[in-house]
Amino acid sequence: MLNNSLPNESLPDENGHFGPYGGRFVAETLMGPLQELTEAYTRYLKDPEFLAELDDELHHYVGRPSPLYHARRWSEIMGGAQIYLKREDLNHTGAHKINNTVGQALLAKRMGKTRIIAETGAGQHGVATATVAARLGLECVVYMGSEDIKRQSTNVFRMKLLGATVVPVESGSKTLKDALNEAMRDWVTNIDDTFYIIGTVAGPHPYPVMVRDFQTVIGREAKQQCLQQAGRLPDALIACVGGGSNAIGLFYPFIEDEDVAIYGVEAGGDGLETGHHAAPLNAGRPGVLHGNRTYLMEDDNGQIIETHSISAGLDYPGVGPEHSWLKDSGRAKYVAINDDEALQAFHDLTKIEGIMPALESSHALAYATKLAPKMKKDEIIIVNLSGRGDKDIQTVATLEGITL
Amino acid sequence: MSRIANCFNDLKEKNRKGLIPFIVAGDPQPGFTLPLMNALVDGGADLIELGVPFSDPMADGPVIQRGSERALVHDTSLRDVISMVVEFRKENKQTPVILMGYLNPVEVMGYEEFAKAASEAGVDGALIVDLPPEEAGELKEIMVKYDIDLIFLISPTTNVERQKYISKIASGFLYYVSLKGVTGSNRLDTGSVEESVTTIKQHSDLPVGVGFGIRDAESAANVAKVCDAVVIGSPIVELVGNLSDDSETSMKSITTYLSTMRQAIDVI
């Protein structure tokens, strides 16, 4: 069962720094509210009543713990390490996103906020936010780039059915990064009654640490389940990294287990050499965006550049600051998987295990197919299956020239 | 004494309020910026705030966002903006110029290189919107070395303790954000501005400029009554966006607009 506590170790420091990364780079109007949020979060993190309510919601509403599934057939075919899948796709709303939105929404309620806002790219975080807002009777406004709205019409309708207002964002590249800018603008304007639920481990302090803490339920469960089912810790962890919340959720409880190798998989798009990708840790450099210092995709003048990935959830020019720190410190390794490799893994897992993965998670799976054959048969890899692939069947069909 | 300090001293002696217009450098085209700066001086600008375009202007409303986007169509970079100030300074030696923008372009150029180039160009101050004092230590040190004022924001959500903290690190003037919101908002409450500026002045000798929600002559006059200078951004950027060319007639229209603001704040 769930641990009745959340981790909050030495990093970040009190101003949200992970080494040179993270921090709080926002206009002055948000500094007070971010401090207030930090104080509230720190207080409730130690409040047994809050933690009990969170556990109860995760258990009965989200459906946790999610299984750790041994993909025997797929492991056998690859002929190397045993692959276990952490089944975040089986959560309510079909992805890991809800672990965080439940936590933040409960916090919003405690802080007396009546209005919830969120940004969304593919729509998964928007749906997870609209869902908990409905559950708690809170007003909900979701900002979404107008380009993304066109690509993800089903999720837009889901959010509307859940009672949320979806606001199209027409500025900049009209995608996730612009939706985040617009949500920040809303927050700064409606700060008194509004709680901003950020969907990933980026943004100004305390978001990277708060979202991490809510997502570590993934890694804490996986650790316990692996010990129970296999009798030992895994040899490697693999997770996809856009902003990086599912990845940090799996990795964090294993950081001090030095024998566990950690791999984060970025979106290689058409290939790193083409420049059409979303892999700042592999091919970007440090800079400041959306309230934190981290690796970014930017041009020589410091303008943020447009990214490309087959998977909308990884299509983001930044990454959580803790990942930047884990990269520089060498504790985690960050690799890239191209669109076509991810698509192949999507098909493989669907046909071989009867599990249709999200295109985001398919990046992690594709890296497993590279790593597993190089490992021994008694070694263990845990792949975070962060979401289910139903939302992506339209994209896959279009790519393959099929009209549904 | 810095050009900004001089400017505010002059204003004080003449018992006048400062007028600080804002434009985005490179908007709508790089060639417009120099004539626009001169047009603003002709219209009564005491200081000029020159926006450095950024792809993700998180603190700006739609009008200035669009100005930034227009400038970025022509790839207007931080280096380009500094070059524009070099051109401006060939004719104008007295009007202080403040660069206003976001941190990332400065990070990419490098703090030292930025400060050196800006100082040589005749830039007097910099306001980096997403750089609160907590994160500004390193840049502040370098700016001091090159005699550039680093200007900081104080907002309605800044408590007195923070006001004191910000006043200590800031130089040039303090920029009070008049409302909870982005640039160009329509939520100005002059009464609360007056209250806040009075509090700020109790523990700082720096002049206080007020910006973010001033939309017309009336609001400019009302705000000017309670502070040392008013910043007018979005209405000017809106006009600039509608200019079809950089002819004398076009520039004259900007001068005329600013003159009405000048008159409004001078009669108070």
Check if A25 contacts B (Cβ < 8 Å).
yes
Residue scoring higher pLDDT (A263 or B2)? A263
Which whole-number Å values give the CA distances from B169 to A26, B144, B211, in the listed order?
Answer: 17, 11, 20
Percent of chain A with pLDDT over 90: 92
User: What tens digit of pLDDT does each residue of A98-145 get?
Assistant: 999 999 999 999 999 999 999 998 899 999 999 999 999 999 999 999
Confidence of residue B268 (pLDDT cuts 50, 70, 90): confident
Residue B189: per-residue pLDDT: 83
Q: Where in chain B are the domains?
A: 3-266
To the nearest 5 percent, what fractions of chain B are helix, strand and coil? 50, 15, 35
| Residue B66 Cα, gap to closest chain A Cα (Å) | 8
Check if A15 contacts B (Cβ < 8 Å).
yes
Check if B169 contacts A (Cβ < 8 Å).
no
pLDDT exceeds 70 at position A8: no
pLDDT exceeds 70 at position A5: no
User: What tens digit of pLDDT does each residue of A347-387 get?
Assistant: 999 999 999 999 999 999 999 999 999 999 999 999 999 99
Cβ(A207)–Cβ(A245) below 8 Å? no
Residue A150: per-residue pLDDT: 86
Tokens matching residue A325 = 């720190």
Are A287 and B107 a contacting pair at CB < 8 A? yes
Percent of chain B with pLDDT over 90: 93
Cβ(A163)–Cβ(A140) below 8 Å? yes
User: What tens digit of pLDDT does each residue of B20-37 get?
Assistant: 999 999 999 999 999 999
Distance CA B34, CA B36 (A): 5
| Residue A122 Cα, gap to closest chain B Cα (Å) | 20
| Residue A27 Cα, gap to closest chain B Cα (Å) | 5
Average pLDDT, integer, range A43-49:
96
Query: SS3 for A332?
Result: coil
pLDDT exceeds 50 at position A6: no
CA atoms within 13 A on the CB side of A237: 33
Confidence of residue A9 (pLDDT cuts 50, 70, 90): low
Residues on chain B touching A296 (C-beta within 8 angstroms):
104
Dihedral sign (CA B65, B67, B68, B74): positive
Kind and range of the H or E run holding B238: helix B234-241
The single residue listed with the structure tokens 């809510």 is A214
Distance CA B126, CA B114 (A): 11
Q: Residue B99's closest CA among B122, B125, B130?
A: B125
Residue B185: per-residue pLDDT: 86
A10 is catalytic: no
Q: Which of A57, A66, A113, A119 is catalytic?
A: A119
Average pLDDT, integer, range B209-218:
92
Check if A28 contacts B (Cβ < 8 Å).
yes
Are B157 and A178 a contacting pair at CB < 8 A? no
Nearest CA in chain A to B62: A171
Q: Which of A245, A311, A361, A386 is catalytic?
A: A386
Average pLDDT, integer, range A305-332:
95
Distance CA B105, CA A113 (A): 35
User: What tens digit of pLDDT does each residue of B124-166 get?
Assistant: 999 999 999 999 999 999 999 999 999 999 999 999 999 999 9
* Secondary-structure class of domain B3-266 per CATH: alpha beta
Mean pLDDT of chain A: 95
| Residue A182 Cα, gap to closest chain B Cα (Å) | 7
CA dihedral A386→A392→A393→A399, nearest 10 degrees, is -120
Distance CA A249, CA B166 (A): 36
User: What tens digit of pLDDT does each residue of A141-164 get?
Assistant: 999 999 889 878 889 999 999 999
Distance CA A190, CA A102 (A): 22
Residue A335: per-residue pLDDT: 98
User: What tens digit of pLDDT does each residue of A251-286 get?
Assistant: 999 999 999 999 999 999 999 999 999 999 999 999
Residues on chain B touching A301 (C-beta within 8 angstroms):
75, 77-79, 105, 108
B238 is catalytic: no
CA atoms within 13 A on the CB side of B36: 27
Residue A3: per-residue pLDDT: 42
Check if A283 contacts B (Cβ < 8 Å).
no
